[in-house]
Amino acid sequence: MTNEPSDLPGPGPGATPLIRPYEVGATPPAQVPLVLPDEVDDLSTLMATAARGEAFVLQGSTCAQPFTDRRVGGLVRTLLQMSVILTHAARVPVVKIARLAARHTGPCSVGPGRAHADAAVAMNMIRAVTGEHGIADVRQVQGWNREFVRDTPGGSRFEALSAEIDRGLRFMAAWGADDRPLRTTKVFASHEPLPGHVMPHMAREESGDEPQLWALSAHQFRIGERARQPDDAHLAQAELLANPVCLTIGPTTAPEEAVEYVRRLDPHVRPGRVTLISRMGGDRVRDVLPPIVEKVTASGHQVVWSCDPMHGRPHEPTAGITACSFSRVVDEVRGYIDVHRALGTHPGGMYFETTGAQDKSDTERGGGFGAECGPRLNEQQSVELAFLMAEMLRS
């Protein structure tokens, strides 16, 4: 395996170079890998199980920078809360992915060097809080339910669920069962392309029938709707990578267009290689999503179907306020599940954004990041959404 970027394949004639050339004598920025190829391959295996209908993918983000211990800790805690609800109530394993939002090219973006440093800090914190001495120990599940949550309907239900899990864990302990797998968890990371199309640290392996190329700044390579253009260099980059690829599709996406994207990104027809996240709004998802699902399924590709209910049709932001209508979020999730139930396909994932805060109301001030960062759920709403989602999946 080599970690040198100079011998990496290019995206093809006329496309934006994957690696920005440096002047002679210039020192390229030092960007050490943040993940390992084996970790990326582990995620690929898990995404394949979700594509086959055997798992659920939960992706979360704070959609804000800089990364802080409160935001990262709040995101991980919310991912854990929602995951344990979905696993217990819907009886399905949950793949957890944190989106490192500061790496994208939107209005909250920063330069490549700063983005890599922020991502390194976030990844280090995620590994710490989900490790042996972190907060991911399921035996401490009741500790995840803070006072502010206990005072809400969703919090009361979570407290009851926590007590039930605790009884099960005490039975396991009395029986002498090994509970070490319950003490830690794995949270994978995804990010959008870097500003200026600079590719992150990569590794290449020549063994086997085809060379493997991994982007090692995150486990999953994510392409947002604004970057999703047929001639965009982001797609050319993603085509080269062994990393799982996540693609956002909106209400203007034609079924044939979705199939073409999937064929480009999944030429070897590998289950879970591509995740399609629909963000269409509750008033449109039931009409727009079915023909896309039907066309992609008929193509023979097994994708992970996911839903982003945060951005389909939020309230219009005004005066630095990021408004999130919880009822609209729930309506889009319900429509997304209705579509897949009617077609016999697996609603395999959901993407959400959270404040990482404990006591924010339905409307949250941007806090200096601006309304462009999008609507976000507080922790109470996230817990309630997980219970609603679990009920929909179970029914």
Answer whether residue 119 is part of any domain: yes
pLDDT of residue 237: 82
DSSP structure class, residue 317: P
| Beta pairing class for 363-365 and 321-323 | antiparallel
DSSP bridge pairs for 94: 56
Answer whether residue 4 is part of any domain: no
pLDDT of residue 312: 67
Per-position pLDDT tens, the chain of length 395 = 444 333 333 434 433 333 333 333 333 344 688 899 999 999 999 999 999 999 999 999 887 655 667 778 888 888 988 998 898 878 889 999 999 864 444 444 555 567 677 778 888 888 988 887 777 787 676 666 555 555 666 667 777 777 787 787 788 778 887 777 777 889 999 988 665 445 556 777 755 667 788 888 899 998 877 666 767 777 888 888 899 999 999 999 999 999 999 999 999 999 999 999 999 999 999 999 999 999 999 999 999 999 999 886 544 444 444 455 788 899 999 999 999 999 999 999 999 988 866 554 443 444 333 344 557 888 788 888 998 888 888 87
pLDDT of residue 280: 93
Answer whether residue 169 is part of any domain: no
Tokens read off for 334: 């319900």
As separate numbers, helices (DSSP H) first and strands (DSSP E) second, the chain gives 10, 12
Residues with Cβ within 8 Å of 140's Cβ and at least 6 positions away in sequence, in order, are none
Tokens read off for 198: 């600079």
pLDDT of residue 55: 95
Q: Quote the pTM value.
A: 0.81
Distances (CA, A) of 306 to 5, 50, 194, 249: 33, 10, 23, 10
Question: Which of 226, 223, 219 is CA-nearest to residue 190?
Answer: 219
pLDDT of residue 219: 94
pLDDT of residue 324: 56
User: What beta strand segments (E) does the chain contain?
Assistant: 56-61, 94-99, 187-191, 202-205, 212-215, 220-223, 245-249, 274-278, 304-307, 321-323, 347-353, 363-365
Question: Which of 31, 32, 110, 123 is CA-nearest to residue 65?
Answer: 110
What whole-number distance in Å separates Cα of residue 247 and Cα of residue 269?
A: 16
Tokens read off for 225: 């709707």
Contact 87, 59 (CB under 8 A): no
Answer whether residue 171 is part of any domain: no
Q: What is the CATH number of the domain that holds 257?
A: 3.20.20.70
Answer whether residue 386 is part of any domain: yes
- 324 backbone dihedrals φ, ψ, rounded to 5°: -135, 115
Distances (CA, A) of 380 to 111, 278, 356, 361: 33, 24, 10, 9
What whole-number distance in Å separates Cα of residue 129 and Cα of residue 69?
A: 10
- Is residue 23 classed as helix, strand or coil in its secondary structure? coil
Contact 190, 219 (CB under 8 A): yes
Structural domain including 69 reads: 33-136+184-394
Question: Which of 151, 150, 176 is CA-nearest to residue 163?
Answer: 150
Residue type, 127: R
What whole-number distance in Å separates Cα of residue 82 and Cα of residue 146?
A: 14
Q: Angle at CA 27, nearest 5°, toward 23 and 28?
A: 90
How many domains are there within the chain?
1
CB atoms within 10 A of CB 151: 11
Answer whether residue 152 is part of any domain: no
Answer whether residue 325 is part of any domain: yes
pLDDT of residue 363: 37
DSSP structure class, residue 66: S
Note if the bond before 66 is cis, omega within 30 degrees. yes
Distances (CA, A) of 283 to 276, 279, 312, 374, 375: 19, 11, 9, 19, 18
Answer whether residue 207 is part of any domain: yes
Q: How is 179-239 classified by DSSP, letter by letter?
A: -GGGS---EEEEEPPPGGG----EEEE--SSS-EEEETT-SEEEE-GGG--TT-HHHHHHH
